[in-house]
Amino acid sequence: MAGEEDEGTEQEWRSIVENYGDRAEIEDEPPAEEKPKVGSVFDGPVFNPTYDEVDRSLEADQGFVAPDPGWQPLPAGPRLAAWIGLLAGPVFLLFAAILHITVPGVLVALLVAGFVGGFGFLVWQMPREPREPWDDGSRI
């Protein structure tokens, strides 16, 4: 019995090796002139819906309609200062380098300190408890 299985496996292997590189024939394949044209994403108009243009019928059928997100308020106090320090320093130094503006060393040190301090503060404010495994990040 084991010899018959080895023989069948050997024949299958020979068939694979003999037909290596051959194109498989598929009977349902359309003729070459009827194949759809594959083009670039940039060939035609791109659909980029806004929030109001998205079909909400499924949500309405299920009884849930997502509220309009609206504008989010700016962070308050120290968190706003941390974001300003994190973003303003590198942007200012980049523009100064592009425009060949000489920046005093003290100002560069303050901008670097603002970047490092802002980054450190934002990391320090992050939640420390582990997330639940089924949490996808959304909050109600």
What's residue 18's pLDDT?
A: 84
Provide the pLDDT confidence category of residue 10 given band limits of 50, 70 and 90.
confident
Phi, psi of 10 (to 5 degrees): -65, -40
Under a CB-based contact definition with an 8 Å cutoff, are residues 85 and 114 in contact? yes
Tens digit of pLDDT for each residue in 116-134? 999 999 999 988 887 777 7
Mapped onto helix, strand or coil, the DSSP state of residue 131 is coil
- The letter for the amino acid at 79 is R
What's residue 38's pLDDT?
A: 53
Average pLDDT over residues 36-53: 54
For 22, 82, 85, 122, 128, the CA distances from 75, given in Å and listed in that order, are 63, 10, 13, 12, 20
Provide the pLDDT confidence category of residue 33 given band limits of 50, 70 and 90.
low
Provide the pLDDT confidence category of residue 3 given band limits of 50, 70 and 90.
low
Can you say how many angstroms the Cα of residue 84 is from the centroid of all Cα atoms in its chain?
A: 25
Tens digit of pLDDT for each residue in 53-111? 556 566 656 666 677 778 888 888 999 999 999 999 999 999 999 999 999 999 999 99
